[in-house]
Amino acid sequence: MVAAVGLDGGEMDLRRRVSLSLTSQFAITGSIIMVAAMIAAGMFTSHTVTQATIENTAASTALFVNNLLEPLTQDLAREDLLPADKLAAIDHLVREEDFRERFPHVEIWNDKGAFAYSTSRNMIGRTFSPPVGLTRALTGEVAAHYTDPQAREHRARGFDEGYLEVYIPLRETGSGRVIAVAEVHETTKPLTELLGWLRLKVWIAIAGATMAITAGLFGIVYRGSCLILTQQRQLQERMSEIEMASRDIRILKERVQRASGRVAEMAENHLRRIGADLHDGPAQLIGLASLKVEHVRCAPTQEARERELEAMGTYLSDALNDIRAMSKGLVLPEIEGMHLHEIVARVVRNHERRTGMEVSVRCTDFPLCLPRAVKLCVYRFIQEGLSNAYRHAGGNGQVVTCAIEGAVLTVLVEDSGGSGDGKSHEPDHGLGLIGLRERVESLGGTFHVERRPMGGTRVEMKLVIEEGNGYE
C-alpha cells in the first residue's frame, strides 16, 4: 500500500512538474503577446475614439457657429472684406461672455485666403499661406485639429496657448457656394477632460478583456496539459498491451507455422500409406487376376477354365471392394453450400449408419457463411471424434455440441466412457488426434482433449471466425 501511494505521489509530482512547465511557458509567452496586443489595441482604439470625439465636437461647434456667423458674412460673396456694420455685429457677438469663454479667438477667411475678420484687428486684410484646415473647409468640409503655435498666422497673433482649431465653411444663401471660412479657436479643457475619461474607460475595457482572454487560455492550456499527461499514461499502457499482444501473435504464428509443416508432413505420410495400401491390397489382387488370364487360356477343359474364371472374378471383386472402402474415407460429401448444423447432421448421420450407435446432437441453427477450410476441419473433427468414441468407448453416451459466442466457434465431441471392441466397421483412414490438433492449430484455433476421472473423454476445438464470414 505504501508503494502504491508512493507511485501515485510520484506520478502526481511528474504531472505537476510537466503541467507547471507547460503553463509557465504559456504564461511567459502568452503574457508578452497579450500585453503587446493590449497596448496596440489600446493605442489604436484610443486614437480612434479621440479622433471621433474631436470630429463630433467640431461638428457640433460648426453647427452652432454656422447659424450665428453665416447670415453676417453674405457680403463676402461679392466683396473681399466685410462692411463696418457687419464687423460691429460680429464683434458684439464674439464679445459676449459665454461665447468668448468657449471661443476666445474667431477669424473669418475669404475665399482668396485673406482675413476678412479677426478678433485681432491688425490681422484683417492680411494674406497668409492657407493652412490645411482652410483648404479642406473651402471644399465644403469641416476640419478640426489642435493649434500649431509655430504657424505664421499664429506667431503674428502671439499665440502661446493650445486651442482646438475648427474650420467651418460659410455658404452663400440660395446657391450654397462656399464664400468664406470661419476659424474658431475653442478651449481644450472640456475636451481634454472628456478625452481623458474616454481613454481611461477604453484602457479599462481592453485590459479587462485581455485578462479574461488570458485567464481563459491559461485554463485551456492547463486542462490540455493534464489531458496530455493522462493520454501519455494511457498510451504507455496501450503500448504495453500491444507488446503483449504482439508477443502472443508471434507465438501463435510460430505454432501455426509448425502445425502447417506437420500437416504437410502428415499428409505426405498419409499419401504414402494410401499408396502402400493400394500396392499391398488391390494391386496384389489385380496382379493375381492378371495371372489367371494365362491360366484361363491354357485350361485343358471347360471345367478348369470356369474355375480359373471364377477365381479371377473373386480377385477382381475383392480389389474393387478394397478400393471402394478406401475411397469412402478419402472423399468428403459436397459441403460447400451447407450451413454448420447441416454439416454436423451429415457427419452424425453417416456415423450412425456405419456403426448403428445413436449420437446426441446439440447444435443450434447458425446461418453462417464459413470458409471451406473451416467446414472441412469441423467435418473431420466430428468424424474422427465419433470414430474414437466408438472405437475406445463403444459409442456410449456420444454427444456432439457446437456453439458460437461472438466470433469464436466451439465444437465438442464427448462420450461417457466404456470399453470398445477396438475395431471399426471400415478401415481407418483418419489422421488421429494428433492430425486433428495440427489441422485445428494450422487454422489458428485451439485443440484440447480431457479424460474425465469418472470415465469418458471430451474433445474440444475452438476457432476464431474471420471477419467477413458473418451471418448471411
Per-residue pLDDT band for 13 (boundaries 50, 70, 90) equals low
Say if 276 falls within a structural domain: no
- Whole-angstrom CA distances from 147 to 157, 167, 185, 247 are 13, 12, 8, 87
User: Is there a single domain that holds both residue 104 and residue 138?
Assistant: yes
158 inside domain: yes
Separation in Å, CA 388 to CA 45, 380, 424, 434: 95, 12, 9, 12
pLDDT at 238 over 80: yes
Q: Across the chain, which distance is largest between two alpha carbons, in Å?
A: 179
228-242, 336-350, 401-415: least confident range: 336-350
- Between CA 398 and CA 391 the distance in angstroms is 12
On whether both 294 and 385 belong to a single domain, the answer is: no
Residues 344 and 302 in one domain: no
CATH code where residue 90 lies: 3.30.450.20
Show Cβ contacts of residue 74 under 8 Å, excluding neighbours closer than 6 positions. 172, 173, 179
Separation in Å, CA 133 to CA 122, 141, 188: 22, 9, 18
Angle 282-298/302-330 helices, nearest 10 degrees? 160
* Span 445-451, average pLDDT: 89
| Placement of cell 469464436 in the chain | 408
> What pLDDT is attached to residue 391?
84
> How much is the average pLDDT of 368-382?
83
pLDDT band at 1 (very low <50, low <70, confident <90, very high): very low
Residues 406 and 461 in one domain: yes
| Residue 247 belongs to a domain | no
Cell of 119: 478678433
pTM, two decimals, is 0.41
Distances (CA, A) of 187 to 131, 192, 316, 367, 432: 20, 9, 139, 98, 116
Model pLDDT, residue 426: 45
Domain boundary among 190, 221, 250: 190
C-alpha cell at 468: 467477413
113 domain residue, yes or no? yes
Query: What is the percent of the chain with per-residue pLDDT over 70, rounded to a whole number?
Result: 81
Please give the grid coordinates belonging to residue 227: 489531458
Residue 365 lies in a domain: yes
Q: Is there a domain that residue 218 lies in?
A: no
Asked if pLDDT for residue 302 goes beyond 60, the answer is yes
Model pLDDT for residues 316-346, shown as the tens digit of each residue? 887 787 777 666 656 566 676 788 888 888 8
In a domain, 67, yes or no: no
CA distance 60 to 164: 13
- Cα–Cα distance between 178 and 317 in angstroms, integer? 137
- pLDDT bin (cut points 50, 70, 90) of residue 361 is very high
Determine the pLDDT at residue 312: 79
Range of the domain at 447: 332-472
CATH number of the domain within which 408 lies: 3.30.565.10
Q: Which of 407, 400, 371, 367 is nearest to 386 (CA)?
A: 400
**55 vs 59, 145, 208, 453, CA distance in Å?**
6, 9, 28, 107
> C-alpha cell of 42?
489600446
CA atoms within 13 A on the CB side of 421: 4
Q: Give the pLDDT confidence of 25-48 residue by residue, as tens digits.
A: 777 887 888 888 888 888 888 778
Query: With contact defined as beta carbons under 8 Å apart, do 414 and 398 qualify?
Result: yes
Q: In 10 A of CB 437, how many CB atoms?
A: 21
